[in-house]
Every structure is written in structure tokens, then in C-alpha cells.
Structure 1
Amino acid sequence: MSGAGLHAIFDVAAWGAACAAIWWLSRVRGLQFPRQSFELPYVAALVFGAGIGAYIFGTLNLWFSGMPGIARSVEGALAGGIVAIELYKWLHDITIRTGARFALPLAVGVAIGRIGCYLAGLDDFTYGTPTTLPWGHDFGDGALRHPVQLYESIAMAAFAVFYVLMVLNRNAAVITNGFYLALFYYGLQRFFWEFLKPYGTLIGPFSLFHLLSLFVMAYAAVMLATAPSASLKHERAAA
């Protein structure tokens, strides 16, 4: 099977695992998230923003790296989704936070999806720079490279384990603000892995995805810093 085919299979698996993760927490473990309203226009805004962001930033990164073509980006999808949802909430005067239940799906989805990126090889353009470390991987060009896709997969899997342990212990702060914790952690680990990728730089040693990681981290930090009392909020939501 081609690398693109394997990538597609893991993309589908990532979506499936993300849905299964939230179903497991909500239905099997009985976790009650803060009340949220997911109307069709909200979902449409999320999907549209994520799709636009994925292709815009993925393609721009290719161009800045001196390569033609069109590409997608997970981080671009996150940034696009964030902007779209915040604009939607602002236009509709929605003040509640709507991301709580997306924390585990984000972590699980990225952890599985990045395995597909790893298996896709050189065509995916998510491989790392050359390394002499013993776990360097030859993606097909004869050079041993950092398997940065697996670094990210392991990092997000570790967050998923931490998150599940916290919410099963009914940690109100993590239940209420878990999505923003996941975003901040994602941006932080992604920022460091970007130094191990052969992408074109924009400012000093920083690539487009370095800057995008900083945006994701800044957004998450603001949301965490301005969060209402987690325990009281969750108690009201679960009442």
C-alpha cells in the first residue's frame, strides 16, 4: 500500500478514535462536561475554519520551504478552528466556553494521526532533519532522520493518559479547562519539534509553524488565565 493510502487510513482511524474517546468518557464513564450548545451553525463554522486553516498554513509552509504544491496541517486546522469559533461566538454573543469535551479527542487524534504521517514517508513532508541518534529513520532518501512524527505522537499520547487520570478522579479544573491545557501542551511540544524539521524559516530560526505554535499557546494561556472558578462552574454545569 502506498504512503498516501496508509496516511488516509490513519486519518480515518484518528477521527474514529477521537469520537470513541469522547463517547467513552461521556457514556461509559459518566463524565459530565460543562453544558454546551453545539448547533449546526457552530459545527459548520468549526469545520469551515479548520478546513481553511489546514490548507492555508500547510500550503504556505510548503511555499516558504521552496516546494510547490498544496498541503494540509493539523496545527493550521487548530488555528483556523480557533479563529472561526471565536468569531462565531462573538457574532452570536456567546460567552460560555465550548471546548471542554474536545481535549481528549485532540490528544488521541493527533497521537494516532501522526503515525500515519510517519508511515507516509518523504511525500508527507513531516519528517525530521538528519540525525546520528540510534533511532534515526531512513524515510527513503538514504539519510537517517528524526522521526518527529513519533515524537509528537508519544507526547500527545502522554497527555491523553494524564488527562484521563485527572478527569476520572473528577478534577474539576482539568474537566473544565482541559481543552486549553491540551492546546497549550500541543503548541509547546510542537514548538520544540519544529527545530527538528527541514522547513523554511521566516524570522531568525523560526518557521511558520513556530509562529503558529506561539499563537496557539498564547490563546490557550489567555483562556486559562481568564477561566472562571473551575469547581463552581463545573458544579453548576453538572447540577
Structure 2
Amino acid sequence: MNIPYEPIVFGYNINIHLILEYLAFFIAFRYYVFLRRKSNDIISSNNRLSIILGAALGALIGSRLVGFLENPLVSLSQENIIQLLNTKTIMGGLFGGLLGVEIAKKLIGETESSGDLFVLPIILGIFIGRIGCFLSGINEFTYGVETTSIFGMNLGDGLLRHPIALYELLFLIILFFGLKHNRYKPHLKNGDLFKLFMISYFTFRFFIEFLKPNVFYFLSLSTIQILCLICLLYYHKTILNIFKNAR
């Protein structure tokens, strides 16, 4: 199998990344519904629906905004504008979704933490989407810089590069089973699982960005890395508690 993987079905080139992206949304949502049926959700169905809508709207805006900020100096031709409108990133989606949920909860007066039920479905969805990123090779900006290490792969341009998507797939497997195993620990309060997910994933993405060929930097950091720092600052109290409990 060559990468980028572009299968032809009935004479048509299939965008495997787009198909897996839609599949990720579908499977992640069905997994969420399954988990909610098995759990004693203390949030009413109406409030939960409002929270989901807030998350979806926040994720839509955040993913597009951060996707644009990854390359803000692009020339404003018609082709580039269309490309920018289609650009999105999971990091902006996650943080935008977080803000969307918090705004929705304020509007409806919901005070209970709502994120724990989303954690495992989100990880599963990202995992499926990242498979599509890997199969797309250099057609998606999830590839790494050139390397002479044993991990180098030809992702479509004849150069040996870090397979960033594969690194993330391995990390997501560890994160999924680690959080799933610990989700019922007595020391975890409602909402802690989601906080641990966000802190773990954004920390991972901060460091993995150093292996990507980013072209736009501010203060020697990429847009994604700056967003990661903002997210970690948002959860600074939780991070301090983690270090305190570790000692």
C-alpha cells in the first residue's frame, strides 16, 4: 500500500481521510450514547442536549479559527480563501468545544461537571481520524520533519519523515486504556477525568509539535503550541493538585 492511500472505487478517487473523519464522528457519538445509557447521568436530557450543542458550535468555531491562525500570512486568493474555510484542527475544536460547553452551562444554569462522559468517545473519534491522517501522508499537515532514525517513513514525497500520526495513535491507545482503567477511582471527582484528558493530550501535542515542519512561529512557538499553553494555564489549579498529590 502506497501513502498517500487513494483508493479508486467504481472509477472515482476516494478521499479516505474524509470518510474516516465522518466515521469518527458517527462511531464516537454512538459510543457516547452507549456509555450514557450505562451510566447514572446526573444532568437532565434537556441540559445535556444544550451542552452538546454548545460543544458542537464551540468546536466548529475553534477548529476553523485555530486552523486559520496556523498560517495567517497566506495570500488572499480565491483558491486560498476556500482552502482556509475548509481548514480545521482538532486542537481548536477541543478547546473551542470546552469554551462552548462552559458558555452553554452558564446560560442554562447547569453547575454539574459534564465532560467525563465525553472523554472516551472523544479519544476514539480522534484515533479513527488520525488513521485517516496517516493514510493521507503529506496531503494532511500531520507529518513530521525529515529524520534519519529508524522511525522515518516515506509519506509520499520520497523523504524519510517522522510519522507524527502513528506516534499519536500509540499515545491515544495508552491514554484511552489508562483513563478507562482509572475512571472509577475514588479519589477522582466528577469532571476530573475530562481535565486529565485535556491536560494529557495538550501536553503531548505541545511536545510533538517540535517534530512538525511548522512555518509560522510566535515567540518561537507554533500556533498549536501557544494554544496548548493556554489550555494548560486554564487547568493550572488541577496541574498543581496533581503535583501536590504526587509528592
TM interval, shorter chain, is 0.7 to 0.9
- The equivalences for 1:1-239 within 5 A come to 1=6, 5-27=15-37, 30-33=38-41, 35-37=42-44, 38-63=47-72, 68=80, 69-70=83-84, 71-167=87-183, 170-174=184-188, 176=190, 177-222=192-237
Unaligned residue ranges in structure 1 (runs of 5+): 227-239
Q: 1:103 touches 1:180 (CA, 8 Å); kept in 2?
A: no
- TM-superposed CA distance for 1:126, in Å, is 1.5
Q: 1:65 touches 1:200 (CA, 8 Å); kept in 2?
A: no
Alpha-carbon separation, structure 1, partners of 2:50 and 2:36: 23
Alpha-carbon separation, structure 1, partners of 2:124 and 2:115: 15
Which amino acid counterpart does residue 89 of structure 2 have in structure 1? S
Aligned length in residues: 221
Residue identity over aligned pairs, in percent, reads: 30
Q: 1:65 touches 1:201 (CA, 8 Å); kept in 2?
A: no
Distance verdict in 2 for CA 1:76–1:10, change over 3 Å: same
- TM-superposed CA distance for 1:225, in Å, is 6.7
Distance verdict in 2 for CA 1:135–1:10, change over 3 Å: same
Q: 2:119 touches 2:197 (CA, 8 Å); kept in 1?
A: yes
- TM-superposed CA distance for 1:20, in Å, is 4.3
Q: 2:70 touches 2:216 (CA, 8 Å); kept in 1?
A: no
Q: 2:153 touches 2:162 (CA, 8 Å); kept in 1?
A: yes
Distance verdict in 2 for CA 1:180–1:64, change over 3 Å: farther
SS at match of 1:202: coil
Q: 2:35 touches 2:117 (CA, 8 Å); kept in 1?
A: no
SS at match of 2:217: strand
- TM-superposed CA distance for 1:172, in Å, is 3.6
- TM-superposed CA distance for 1:64, in Å, is 5.2
SS at match of 1:133: coil
Q: Kindly provide the CA deviation profile for residues 136-181 of structure 1, in whole angstroms up to 9, marking residues without a partner as x.
A: 11121111111111111211111101122223xx314447211111
- Give the alignment's Cα RMSD to 1 decimal: 2.6
- TM-superposed CA distance for 1:87, in Å, is 2.0
Alpha-carbon separation, structure 1, partners of 2:172 and 2:126: 7
